[in-house]
Structure 1
Amino acid sequence: MSSSKETFGRTVGFVFVVCLVCALLVSFSAVQLKPLQTANKLLDKQTKILEASNLLDFAGDDIVATYDRFVEAKMIDLDTGEYVKDASQQEIDMFDERRNARDAEKSSKPENDLAGINRRSNTAVIYLVRNGGGEVETVVLPIVGSGLWDLMYGFVGLEADLNTVKSVIYSDHKETPGLGAEVLNPAWKALWPGKKIYNEAGDVKVQLVKGGAKENDIHGVDALSGATLTSNGVTRTLQFWFGEEGYGPFIAKNRGGLK
């Protein structure tokens, strides 16, 4: 009886030690890899911003240097459209809209939640892309909204007039391959340049059109074939973020010229 208990105790002890060692290894690995994961996440974001501003081919393998040369990230207050002047560079680099949205003190619930995000951060980080002469040529604005299965994250590149689209680039989604995942298809992305977000009255008119947009439709882009819910999600996301509860106040204040 005693021998049996001793064997059981040793087994439990051995299991405990193994679990403890594994937990320590996992914790150590997580701590050691975190800086690398953070750097990779930042690099991926910089890559998408350069793609949205048509600088990715120019950058080649020198993503960071090209980003640092041409792109200026700024934090804005979405309600007022003003720049947040006391935002640190670390705050800007590490900004996470969804993390802020989970903090009641840093977010609010939209009155008209077209994008299906539940809560929206009070601030956002935007990207001013300048040419060699220092003039703003592109403004890249992050967007997030519901697709068929989950939230979809992307960037919209606008001309300096803050109305003409240069690009719509999705970076993260869980949509169905061959259907909603066609947001990554170069042929679909090529439909966006030159489209207009607003009409002459300043109303948000950009949308995905089921069955295909007409040739003279400056606001419409072909919907994703067989992916009605994803297409509707993209339309609603764009209409939310370019409306009054998104970038609308910022755009209204800066149509005369960005600095």
Structure 2
Amino acid sequence: MSAKKETFGKTLGFVIAVCLACAALVSISAVQLKPLQVENKLFDQQTKILQAADILSMTDGTKASIQSTFEQFVDAKMIDLDSGEFIEGSPKLFDERRNARDPEKSSDLEEDIAGINRRSHTAVVYLVSNGAGEIETVVLPIVGSGLWDLMYGYVGLKSDLNTVRNLIYSDHKETPGLGAEVMNPKWVAKWPGKKIYDEAGNVAIELVKGGAKASNEHGVDALSGATLTSNGVTRTLQFWFGEKGYKPFITKFRTQEVK
């Protein structure tokens, strides 16, 4: 009997030792890989911003070229969403998802048409200049609900802050072949030249079920078979280009009052 107990105890001890060793290896790997994960996330972000600004073609596609082009032409700035003013802060350290979960750095929304629950008090905007140092594009991050979860993307606007250069989604959990078509190059190609606001200054951009007419400068074809995702994209744009989103910044930028 004692021999059996001793055997069981040794077996249990071995199993525990293996579990502890595996846990230690996982922890060490996570710590060592985190800098690489952060670097890859930043690189992907830079790539998407250059796509939204329509200047990714200026690179040769390599990591070094993309990073160099980003550093040369893109100026990331923090803004206060309520006032539309530039503020001090580190864009590289800014995390919209983390801020939105922090009651001190975000607020509830009375009309949450984008389905985000809480909105960060601050945001990062990306001012993209040409070789002469003139701002040609402003890239604005957006987030809103799709069918299954939040969808994150970037809208590149020409210097009038009304005409779309590109809309690029970077992170989503939509259904392949349906909502996931937000990343299909053929659908992405429908956005350049569309207008966010109408002549009265109202947010007019929308996805049109059944297809937008060629003469509709505010309409983009809805995603076939993905009504909820399409509605989510429309509501996301309506929110972020409205008064609770980037409109205070856009208004001041247009009149050169932002500082």
Is the TM value for this pair above 0.5?
yes
Task: State how far apart, in whole Å, the 2-side matches of 1:110 and 1:242 are.
Answer: 15
Task: State how far apart, in whole Å, the 2-side matches of 1:94 and 1:181 are.
Answer: 29
Paired position in structure 2 for 1:40: 40
Paired position in structure 2 for 1:66: 69
- CA deviations 1:96-117 (Å, max 9, x no partner) are 1111000000000112111100
* RMSD between superposed Cα atoms in Å: 1.1
Task: State how far apart, in whole Å, the 2-side matches of 1:189 and 1:256 are.
Answer: 30
Paired position in structure 1 for 2:78: 75
Paired position in structure 1 for 2:171: 172
Paired position in structure 1 for 2:132: 133
Q: Which letter does structure 1 place at the counterpart of 2:55?
A: L
Paired position in structure 1 for 2:53: 53
Task: State how far apart, in whole Å, the 1-side matches of 2:202 and 2:110 are.
Answer: 18
Give the C-alpha shift of residue 12 in structure 1. Answer: 1.2
Task: State how far apart, in whole Å, the 2-side matches of 1:241 and 1:111 are.
Answer: 14
- CA deviations 1:207-252 (Å, max 9, x no partner) are 0001111121111111111111110000000000000111011011
Does residue 13 of the first structure (1) align with residue 23 of the second (2)? no
Q: Which letter does structure 2 place at the counterpart of 1:175?
A: E
Give the C-alpha shift of residue 155 in structure 1. Answer: 0.3
Task: State how far apart, in whole Å, the 2-side matches of 1:59 and 1:159 are.
Answer: 20
Give the C-alpha shift of residue 130 in structure 1. Answer: 0.4
Paired position in structure 2 for 1:107: 106
Paired position in structure 2 for 1:233: 232
TM-score (norm 2): 0.96
Does residue 182 of the first structure (1) align with residue 181 of the second (2)? yes
Q: Which letter does structure 2 place at the counterpart of 1:179?
A: L
State the secondary structure of the residue aligned to 2:27: helix
Paired position in structure 2 for 1:198: 197
Task: State how far apart, in whole Å, the 2-side matches of 1:115 and 1:96 are.
Answer: 18
Q: Which letter does structure 2 place at the counterpart of 1:96?
A: D
Q: Which letter does structure 1 place at the counterpart of 2:72?
A: R
Extract unaligned runs of 5+ from structure 2. none
State the secondary structure of the residue aligned to 1:152: strand
Give the C-alpha shift of residue 255 in structure 1. Answer: 1.0
- CA deviations 1:151-195 (Å, max 9, x no partner) are 111000000011111010011111111111111111111111111
Task: State how far apart, in whole Å, the 1-side matches of 2:55 and 2:252 are.
Answer: 26
- CA deviations 1:16-54 (Å, max 9, x no partner) are 110111111001100110100000000000000001111
Give the C-alpha shift of residue 81 in structure 1. Answer: 0.5
Aligned residues: 255
1:88-103 matches, cutoff 5 A: 91-103=90-102
Task: State how far apart, in whole Å, the 2-side matches of 1:79 and 1:250 are.
Answer: 8
Give the C-alpha shift of residue 202 in structure 1. Answer: 0.9
Paired position in structure 1 for 2:209: 210
Give the C-alpha shift of residue 94 in structure 1. Answer: 2.6
1:124-163 matches, cutoff 5 A: 124-163=123-162
Extract unaligned runs of 5+ from structure 1. none
- CA deviations 1:32-82 (Å, max 9, x no partner) are 101000000000000000011111111122110000000000010011101
Give the C-alpha shift of residue 256 in structure 1. Answer: 2.6
- CA deviations 1:118-156 (Å, max 9, x no partner) are 001110011000001111000000001000111111000
Q: Which letter does structure 2 place at the counterpart of 1:73?
A: A
